[in-house]
Structure 1
Amino acid sequence: MDSENSWVTSAGGPLILIPESVCYQWAAAPCTYPDNEGDYGRACEVDGYVGLIDVGGAQSLVLGDMPARTTFLPRHNVLVREIAGGEDDAGLSDLVANLIPRVEWETGPTWTVSEPVILFDSLPIHRDRHGGTPAHRPPNGRVRDRGGVHRNLQ
């Protein structure tokens, strides 16, 4: 496994990117789950590859569709979600550089961010998360999010 990539995995639900200053407000799935789905239920309601929900008064980005291990590649300023594949990600950055021009991009929401965000599994509360990583230091302001898929590596 390429030591440059820090992958975040899911226990089965969506991953979420939350501004650092409000991560502590993420309540995830409460002890009364599934009767009360809490923040986790709101994240699960996102339809498609990406969607926005409010956490502590800040916009947070939910990576919907399906749980998939995810990493941030700062060289390309992209999140990469592995839908199928193995644990070997040697050369991933070069592969992504070659694929970006051929990805079938879908327009997504515009996300307003002004600070670093943390990527983690939406199921546990933030302080109990495993595998969370500072994933993204976006420019201040509005970020246009696009979901994309490349279906054939040949």
Structure 2
Amino acid sequence: MSDLPEDLAPTRRPAGGRRWIDSSGGPLVVVPATALPAWRGVPDDFDPDDLDTWGDYGRACAVEGNAGVLRAGDAEALVLADEPAATTYLPERRLFVRRIRAERGAAGQRADADADADADSEAEVVRLVPEAVERADWEDAGSWTTDGPAELFDAALGGDEAAPTGRLRVEVEPGTYRLRTACVEIGGTTALGLVHLAG
């Protein structure tokens, strides 16, 4: 990361009405609404060549794997790492869905064996979620505890500076959730990253 854009990508609402969050090139973070001020993002005086100066954003960038948990004050922030992918949340499944790029022939599981084209719209991505969930080879990614609803946004932003239009409300009951992750290929150049909040 050599520079942060002044205006980070806003939340998009496609024709189907589902909201997606983009990042400026790094991970996304899910912070309990009660702890938003505790997530500080990247400081104004960060050194592009020194990850240790990147603050909470740097900690998020250092998370290995598809998801992980970091402290945010007295709460826990869930980091959606590995890919700077457009992400939405399906509350009925307690599932984060991430649209990522995949190399043709890369390891993974095809969500729609009869598909002859990539998922070329976010509405199509969501349509393929049930098949992707059925075929997913889930991996354990620890657990995440929240005291209630949270906000999904670009980890480079501070929780109290991310505009409402750049955040997505994550409706979830208080509790501790087991994190399961998977990456499922749905076409030659498209894959779904899945992060499930299991009970």
Superposition TM-score, scaled by structure 2 size = 0.70
Counterpart residue identity of residue 143, structure 1:
Y
Q: How well do the aligned residues superpose, as a CA RMSD in angstroms?
A: 1.9
Question: In the aligned structure 2, how far is the partner of 1:86 from the partner of 1:98?
Answer: 13
Question: In the aligned structure 1, how far is the partner of 2:19 from the partner of 2:138?
Answer: 24
Counterpart residue identity of residue 67, structure 1:
P
Question: In the aligned structure 2, how far is the partner of 1:87 from the partner of 1:16?
Answer: 25
The answer to whether the 8 Å contact 1:73/1:93 transfers is: no
1:113 is matched with 146
2:192 is matched with none
**Number of paired residues?**
153
Instruction: Give, in angstroms, the shift of residue 59 of structure 1.
Output: 0.8
Question: In the aligned structure 2, how far is the partner of 1:70 from the partner of 1:93?
Answer: 11
Question: In the aligned structure 2, how far is the partner of 1:17 from the partner of 1:87?
Answer: 26
2:79 matches 1:62: yes
Q: Which runs of 5+ in 2 are unaligned?
A: 1-13, 102-117, 189-199
Question: In the aligned structure 2, how far is the partner of 1:145 from the partner of 1:2?
Answer: 30
1:16 is matched with 29
The answer to whether the 8 Å contact 1:107/1:146 transfers is: yes
2:70 matches 1:42: no
Q: Which runs of 5+ in 1 are unaligned?
A: none
2:111 is matched with none
Aligned sequence identity (%): 33
Question: In the aligned structure 2, how far is the partner of 1:92 from the partner of 1:68?
Answer: 13
* Larger Cα-atom Rg: 2
1:141 is matched with 175
Cα deviation, 1:9-44, whole Å, max 9, x if unaligned, reads: 000110000000111121111112125211111111
Change (3 A) 1:101 1:57: same
Cα deviation, 1:62-99, whole Å, max 9, x if unaligned, reads: 01112101000123221000003666222444311122
1:3 is matched with 16
Question: In the aligned structure 1, how far is the partner of 2:131 from the partner of 2:186?
Answer: 12
Superposition TM-score, scaled by structure 1 size = 0.89
